[in-house]
Amino acid sequence: MINPEDITRPAPVFSGDEAAVSYAMLDYFRSTIVTKCVGLSESQMRLRPIVPSTLSLLGLLRHMADVERYWFGWFDGNEPAAWYSSDERPDDDFDDLDSATLDEVVASFFFACDESREICSRWTLDDRRTNEKRSREYSLRFVVIHMIEEYARHCGHADLIREVIDGTTGA
């Protein structure tokens, strides 16, 4: 079970420079997706209550840990292996929920977020990198905005899943 004392949920920053507002919003959504999981047992975290979707709260945390590692790691010049999916099994972050405990997933998620923050501290939003696999140049600004979008979408999924599990809304 995720302990609410383990989560620091920053308030959004409503004014300031672009980097301050963007990074604060990203951290807000990072903490929001974890907040959606507070108080649930490991078996509840594994539930896929919205048929036919394979989404679960545990799967969303696994997915976001992998997404953090992919985008920020790639931008920093590394391509760290995903923890929960692979080229052969790209949906295992959602499908193979038995490969890690809740505690391991939460620790991996927080580690990936910390790793991403460290990477971002070394670059500016205007810095660019070329992704050879996609034959496209990306700025860190794009990566950060994409991650905000990714979290916002999945926080919506988490809202629906949590409401079906125990009626909890908001947070």
For tokens 């809740």, the residue is 102
Q: 59: closest CA among 38, 35, 79, 33?
A: 33
Under a CB-based contact definition with an 8 Å cutoff, are residues 108 and 100 in contact? Answer: yes
* pLDDT tens sequence for the chain (171 residues): 787 777 888 888 899 999 999 999 999 999 999 999 999 999 999 999 999 999 999 999 999 999 999 999 999 998 788 899 988 999 999 999 998 999 999 999 999 999 999 999 999 999 999 888 778 899 999 999 999 999 999 999 999 999 999 999 876
Distance between CA atoms of residues 140 and 2, nearest Å: 31
The burial of 77, by beta-carbon neighbours within 10 Å (0-12 exposed, 13-18 middle, 19 or more buried), is given as exposed
Distance between CA atoms of residues 87 and 89, nearest Å: 6
Which runs of E-coded beta strand occur in 50-170? 128-131, 136-139
pTM of the model: 0.93
Q: What is the pLDDT of residue 131?
A: 81
User: Architecture of 4-166 per CATH?
Assistant: Up-down Bundle (1.20)
User: Token pair of 16, please?
Assistant: 């300031």
Q: What is the pLDDT of residue 142?
A: 97
Query: Domain residue spans in the chain?
Result: 4-166
Which runs of E-coded beta strand occur in the chain? 128-131, 136-139
Between the two ends of the chain, the Cα-to-Cα distance in Å is 17
Q: What is the pLDDT of residue 20?
A: 95
Q: What is the pLDDT of residue 86?
A: 87
